[in-house]
Every structure is written in structure tokens, then in C-alpha cells.
Chains A and B, each alone.
Chain A
Amino acid sequence: MNAHDTKSLLILSPGLPKSREGEPAFAEPWQAEAFAMTVHLHERGVFSWSEWAEVLSQELYKPGRRADAADYYDCWVAALSRLITELSITSTANLEMLTRKWQHAAEATPHGKPIRMENASNL
């Protein structure tokens, strides 16, 4: 499969923030990671682009969004989370549990050490 085509397809995601050169623009690394995971899942055929675009649009048009659209990638992550739950890859409860566990792991990890999930148990 040609990764390049897929990437250009994901770039068509509604409202995607782009640089002047037309590349996706990210304010923080987690946004690039969320984008990359979506590209990768799509490349592997886990979902089609139209399935993705629909779920993302629903998240983007929910009320209460920021006027400056700085929460674009918050919506992106919400859409990806929902899509993989709808596809029965995981459950909302499991994602919540893992999110809290990662927060605990970060807090339990001294500066300078890689943050690993196992560190959560050291709390």
C-alpha cells in the first residue's frame, strides 16, 4: 500500500490545521502521535476514510467547542476513541482505566526516567 496516498487522504480530514505548506500542523507531540496512529490504522484497513470522517465531524460539531479551534485534536482523540470502541476493539471503561493509569505512572516516575506503565504500581 502506498502510505503517501493514505496520508494525503487523512489530510482531507475536515478542518485539519495545516501549515502554509499544506502539511498537518501540531501544537504538541501528542497531537502528532494521535494523527500518526489514525493514519496507521487506516493504512491497515481497520476503518475506511469515510467512517473516520463521519465520526470526526460528529465530534467537531458538538456544542461547546472553543472558538479558536485549539481543541481540534481533543476532538480528534475523542473521535478515534469512539471509533475503536464502536468497532469493539476496546471499551470506553478500559480506555478510561488506562488513561488514569498513565497519569499515575507519570506522577510516580522520577524526572529523568522513562515513564512506564509499571511505574504506576509504585505509588
Chain B
Amino acid sequence: MQHDDDHHHDHDHDHEHDNRFSEMQARVRALETVLTQKGLIDPAAIDAIVETYETKIGPRNGVRVVAKAWTEPDFAEWLKRDATAAIASLGYTGRQGEHMRAVFNTSDTHNLIVCTLCSCYPWTVLGLPPVWYKAPPYRARAVIDPRGVLAEFGVTLPETMKIRVWDSTAELRYLVIPERPDGTEDLDAAQLADLVTRDAMIGTGLARLPEMAR
């Protein structure tokens, strides 16, 4: 589902039955339920422990996808056409068989991904979702006021830049391919990878400039 910032809402997808828990997700929820009922765990404490790892698990897979798209036009084309297969070719596949779509930033369009439900995040390429991504303010406001949200992330785009907001579903997840910064023609894929941040792949940031890296 796609939301443009002119408030055009495209609802041509059927979302009736797109929530599914994998066997393991459901098992973990069951454990959490029992342990909470018995007073043995406090869900907030669990979240706090998970959060300590969130920042440490870098979205290294996604970074490789972006750097490869920047350096290999054939791969970029494949990524545009069939992101699921192109990403799987690097060995990054979800266990739930979710489909991926890569959305490319251009000189006139900026892409932003959101999910109104916290479970829809491209884990295979971005690792664990940041806390703000799961928080209701981002989920609600990214659709209504993407420019305002971007400004809070320190990203100010020209008025003429179109912003597209992509709402992830359980079956289809998005990855933003940021624009390759100017002045990076001499860098190889490994050096380019240092310029790609997690936020750039969500759309709440831009790729870093070479002088900002390291």
C-alpha cells in the first residue's frame, strides 16, 4: 500500500488476512503470556533487554544490498524488478517467505517506509526495528505528515521533492535504496557500505557523505 503526500490513499490491496504468526513467533508469545501471568517476567523488562541489543545489531545485510546496487547496474535493475530474488541471491531470506520491494530514491522522489503494525519490518536486511519505528507517533504521523517527521530526523527536503510513504504489510516489506552521494565515484563497495545507515534504508535519513564517515 502506498501513501503519497498529496493524501492520495491507495487501498487496492486486500488486507483482510495478512497477519500471520510463524510457529516460533506464536511459541514465544505463548511463553511470554504464561510467564507474565505467573508474575515471573515483566514485559517492560523484556523490552528493555531487547533494546540493549537493538543498537548493537547493525543492519549489515541491507548495507551490502545498497552498496551492490550502487556499484552494479545489473544488480540494481534486478532489485527494481524482483527485490525478493535479488536479495535472496545474497543469502538474506526471511523464514516466513515475505516479499521484498526495493524503492529507489531519485532526484525528485524520496521514499519513506512505515508500518502501522510493529511486526512488519524487513528483518532480513535491517535487523531489529528501532523503538521509534514501533512507536504509535511515527506510525501515525509518517502517513499524515511525512515532511514533519523527516524534519524531526533532521532531514529537510526541497519543497519540490515528492515524498512517497510505503506501508509495509505482513507479505510485502520495503527497503529504501538511498541516492548514492556525489563525489563517491572512486569508492569501492566496502567503502560505500560505510555511508549507508539504517535510517537511510528506512527513509528517515540520507546516505552519509564520505567526509562524514569514519
Contact = CB atoms under 8 A, between A and B. Distances in A.
B123 A24 contact: no
B116 A33 contact: no
B19 A99 contact: no
Interface in B19-43: 19-35, 38, 40-42
Contacts, number: 141
A28 to B, nearest CB: 5
Contacts of B28: 30, 33-34, 37, 77
A36 B169 contact: no
Q: Is the interface of B mostly helix, strand, loop or mixed?
A: loop
Interface in A71-110: 73-74, 77, 80-81, 84, 89-90, 94-96, 98-103, 106-107, 109-110
Contact of A36 (B15, B40, B49): B49
A41 B129 CA distance: 24
A41 B36 CA distance: 11
Contacts of B94: 28
A7 to B, nearest CB: 8
Contacts of B45: 40
Nearest to B95: A28
Contacts of A73: 24
Interface residues of A, number: 49
A23 B53 contact: yes
Q: Is the interface of A mostly helix, strand, loop or mixed?
A: helix
A62 interface: no
A9 B198 CA distance: 30
Contacts of A32: 50, 53-54, 57, 128
Interface of B: 15-35, 38, 40-42, 45-47, 49-50, 53-54, 56-58, 94-95, 116-119, 123-124, 127-129, 169-170
29 contacts: A19-B56, A19-B57, A19-B58, A23-B56, A27-B124, A29-B129, A30-B22, A30-B24, A33-B32, A34-B28, A36-B47, A37-B28, A37-B32, A37-B46, A40-B46, A44-B40, A70-B95, A77-B28, A89-B40, A95-B30, A95-B31, A98-B34, A102-B21, A106-B20, A106-B25, A107-B19, A114-B118, A115-B19, A115-B21
Interface of A: 19, 21, 23-30, 32-37, 39-41, 44, 46, 70, 73-74, 77, 80-81, 84, 89-90, 94-96, 98-103, 106-107, 109-115, 117
